[in-house]
Amino acid sequence: MDSAGLPTPVRRRSVLHGLRAARRASRAAQYGRRVALRWVHLVLGGALLMPYWLLTMVVVGVLLPRTASQHSIAGQLLALAAALPMAAVTGLVPVVRALESTAARALCAGTAAARLSVLPSRSWAARRRTAAWFTLHLFLGGVVAGMSLAIPPAVVALLVLPTDGDWQQYWFGDHPPPAPLIALGLALLLAGAIVAAGALLARAAGPLLGPTPAERIAAAERRALELARRNRLARELHDSVGHALGAVAIQAAAAGRVLRSDPEFAAEALAAIEAVARDAVGELDAVLGLLREEEPAGGGPALDGLDTLLRRTASAGVAVEARLDPGLGDLPPAISREVYRIVQEGLTNVLRHAGPVPARLHIRIDDGKLTVDLTNPPGAGRRTREGGGRGLPGITERVAALGGTGSAGPDAAGGWRLAVRIPLATGRAGAGQEAGA
């Protein structure tokens, strides 16, 4: 028993019944609002049809005066049939799709509305679809608007005014139904027409006002280019700023440990931190140029700046024994920049994961291929982030963009080896595409 004296199961059932009733009332209210919006949209279509219909009524009255006067319904239907092709021609205007899509969003909900294109038609396929939608909108709108103007007064007349039975016998024979029943039937006919016409328009909105297959392909290509730009920016930030921050962190930790016992070494570490930070600011400015869709001055660091990178890495505790074969200065700038970033990320991984250990770097050109070989012995085994970082995936993306292959993992001596092979002919093409992205 609860405080109201009702058994707990009874109270629970009553609460559930109330919640279901509230949900049904909410759904009914949402459905009513949707039907009202669709009716307004249809009436707007009828209003747009009026100029075409009036013009064709004049033409029909001039060409077929007897038909227009003696059979007014036939003349109006003929005028309607002649008005629709004129509306279809108007639908070929590019801006009509943008206007109609904006208005049609009230018909659709959620993802259906998002699929409608709000851009002007740029191809004849899109224009033809828009013309079909515009014609359908005006035709159904004209029918519903005409019914909305005629049926409500008729319903009121049937319910309020005395009726003459002649027209009832004409339509229903010797046993016509009562006037209130006829009024109810007319009201249901209007409601059914509104619901059916609105549902038909909502169903046709996606196929007729949505993007064409060619537009979808173009949008997918634009999206792919945008993702390529974002990935490139993420790689540049990770490799340049990440390397600098890693070196600064290691040097700052070393300076802190010997600040009292070896002030001279601490001063050297602080000077190295200053130099690394200054270089990082320059690289950050180049990366921000990519963010602003500007081409950075000089295009960013390349292999001609490798000596500075090696000195910076040595000051952080990783002495690099480098062998650089001749011909690296003749590489295209785009390939030279990408290889620089690959080496930079490899050295950053040595700093982060192995610590102050010696490393060996060999870059050579042999048989039309550029090879990067970076090895280091096992180190102190620094703690890494759970799930790994973004360095190796970034290297993989750069190598793939250059059409090469790469591997990274433990070597036979228990250390770590990064090996990259880039075919220069394919690499030139891939680098050009990457730069264009």
- 380 pLDDT more than 80: no
Nearest to 130 by CA among 76, 196, 73, 204: 204
- 416 pLDDT more than 90: no
Single-letter amino acid code for the residue at 284 = L
Q: What percent of the chain has pLDDT over 90?
A: 18
Instruction: Give strand pairing partners of 392.
Output: none
306 within 8 A of 337, measured Cβ to Cβ: no
Both tokens of residue 76?
Answer: 């109006």
Nearest to 198 by CA among 272, 136, 250: 136
- 94 pLDDT more than 70: yes
Per-domain residue ranges for the chain? 8-211, 219-436
Q: Which of 132-141, 276-285, 392-401 has the lowest mean pLDDT?
A: 276-285
Measured from the Cβ of residue 281, the count of other Cβ atoms closer than 10 Å reads 11
Residue 360: helix, strand or coil by DSSP? strand
Phi and psi based region of residue 398 (left: phi greater than 0; alpha: psi -120 to 50; beta: remaining): alpha
**Which residues are within 8 A (CB) of 198 and not within 5 positions of it... i.e. 6 or more apart?**
34, 35, 38, 39, 41, 42, 107
pTM recorded for the entire structure: 0.56
Residue 369 burial (CB < 10 Å; 0-12/13-18/19+)? middle
What angle (nearest 5°) sits at the alpha carbon of residue 61, between those of residues 57 and 63? Answer: 115
For 238-282, write each residue's pLDDT tens digit.
Answer: 666 666 776 777 677 767 777 777 777 777 777 777 777 777 776
Single-letter amino acid code for the residue at 263 = P
- 194 pLDDT more than 90: yes
Q: What is the pLDDT of residue 10?
A: 59
Tokens 């059932």 correspond to 13
Inter-axis angle of helices 8-63 and 179-209, to 10 degrees? 80
For residue 62, name the pLDDT band (cuts at 50, 70, 90).
confident
For residue 432, name the pLDDT band (cuts at 50, 70, 90).
very low
274 versus 209: the higher-pLDDT residue is 209
What angle (nearest 5°) sits at the alpha carbon of residue 76, between those of residues 72 and 82? Answer: 145
Q: Which of 22-26, 111-115, 256-260, 347-351 has the lowest mean pLDDT?
A: 111-115
SS (H, E, C) 70-133: HCHHHHHHHHHHHHHHHHHHHHCCCHHHHHHHHHHCCCCCCHHHHCCCCCCCCCHHHHHHHHHH
Q: What is the DSSP string of 295-315?
A: --GGGS--GGGHHHHHHHHHH
Q: List C-alpha distances in Å: 354 to 226, 250, 270, 419.
A: 36, 12, 22, 17
- 326 pLDDT more than 90: no
Rounded Cα distance between 296 and 262, Å, is 41
Instruction: Give strand pairing partners of 423.
Output: 369
232 within 8 A of 290, measured Cβ to Cβ: yes
Rounded Cα distance between 276 and 240, Å, is 11
Measured from the Cβ of residue 67, the count of other Cβ atoms closer than 10 Å reads 14
Provide mean pLDDT across the span 412-420.
Answer: 86
For 350-363, write each residue's pLDDT tens digit.
Answer: 877 787 788 999 99
Both tokens of residue 151?
Answer: 């049926």
Residue 111: φ, ψ to 5°: -65, -30
Residue 410: φ, ψ to 5°: -65, 145
- 435 pLDDT more than 50: no
DSSP H or E segment with residue 338: helix 333-349
Q: Which CATH class is domain 219-436?
A: alpha beta
- What is the signed CA dihedral for 161, 164, 170, 175, rounded to 10 degrees? 90
Question: Mean pLDDT of all residues in the chain?
Answer: 78
Q: What is the pLDDT of residue 89?
A: 93
Measured from the Cβ of residue 131, the count of other Cβ atoms closer than 10 Å reads 22
Both tokens of residue 301?
Answer: 């660091």
Q: What is the pLDDT of residue 70?
A: 43
Rounded Cα distance between 61 and 78, Å, is 11
